[in-house]
Amino acid sequence: MNKLEIFPVKGFPEVTEGADIGSLLLAAARSSRLELRDGDAIVIKQKIVSKAEGRLVLLRRVKPSAKAKKLAGEQGKDPRLVELILREAVRVVRAGHGVIITETRHGLVCANSGVDRSNVSEGYAALLPVDPDASARRIRKGIEAVTGKKVAVIVSDTFGRPWRKGQTDVAIGCSGIDPLFSYRGKVDRYGYELRVTEPAVADELAGAAELATGKLSRIPAAVVRGATFTRREVAIRSIAIEKEKDLFR
């Protein structure tokens, strides 16, 4: 088994619209004397990607619809925030206990369409990137062009899980990595052929990186070294369970 190492990338400035995330990451890595290697997986928090891509919305400019006002009243939420949640969703899966579970345009099923007010200026809300896979791909290509190293890039966000309390970071976009690692067809130590075992390696790397970056440390990225994954371009949407097989919707 490979030795797994996680390096938080410190020294990021405040990210603003139009910022080149790849360039900022390389500068921060240099200041930390962290040199990228082939096979590194770079995990970047969604919030700075959204900031760089201009995905912040000033709430006072949002006019909530009647539907948003009704749902906001039922869930005890800001109607303007609910309006953004509905705009980012293709459907509401369920609402209760102050949480609105939606399916986003990206194919993600998550709380509040990923709309969030944490770690942004007062009066603003952050939306998810329009295409997190494209964001990851753009960042990866920029980093590889400068360094000559073959890396993977994962854009992560914090999600809850059915049947469990607490949250964990998961991949909402990726590039240079197949988000699943298949063991199908391989044989375990007892001679049993594995048929369905597919670790969600992109999610595992996102969760591992969060252990090094934390929520309040102002460290928006980490490099995970030594992980085993398949280098391919596969959209994160590909790992969503088909609706006819999904027992939770």
Average pLDDT over residues 67-84: 97
Per the structure, the complete domain to which residue 67 belongs is given by 57-125
Domain count, the chain: 2
**Domain-located, residue 24:** yes
Is the predicted pLDDT of residue 170 greater than 90, yes or no? yes
Percent of the chain at pLDDT above 90? 80
Beta carbons within 8 Å of 63's beta carbon, 6+ residues apart: 80, 83
Beta carbons within 8 Å of 214's beta carbon, 6+ residues apart: none
70 with 104, same domain? yes
- Give Cα 229 to chain centroid, integer Å: 18
Query: Is 124:110 a contact under the CB 8 Å cutoff?
Result: no
Query: Is 45:217 a contact under the CB 8 Å cutoff?
Result: no
109 with 134, same domain? no
Q: Which of 78, 99, 125 is the last residue of a domain?
A: 125
Q: Which of 78, 109, 125 is the last residue of a domain?
A: 125
Q: What is the pLDDT of residue 47?
A: 96
Is the predicted pLDDT of residue 217 greater than 90, yes or no? no
> How are strands ordered across the β-sheet holding 164-175?
5-8, 221-225, 41-45, 152-161, 164-175
Which of 78-87, 183-192, 230-239 has the least mean pLDDT? 183-192
Which position has the higher pLDDT, 43 or 188? 43
**Domain-located, residue 154:** yes
Which of 26-30, 40-44, 58-62, 160-164 has the least mean pLDDT? 160-164
**Domain-located, residue 247:** no
Is the predicted pLDDT of residue 146 greater than 80, yes or no? yes
CA gap 42, 147 in Å, rounded: 13
Which position has the higher pLDDT, 150 or 238? 150
155 with 47, same domain? yes
Q: Is 154 helix (H, G, I), strand (E, B) or coil?
A: strand
151 with 191, same domain? yes
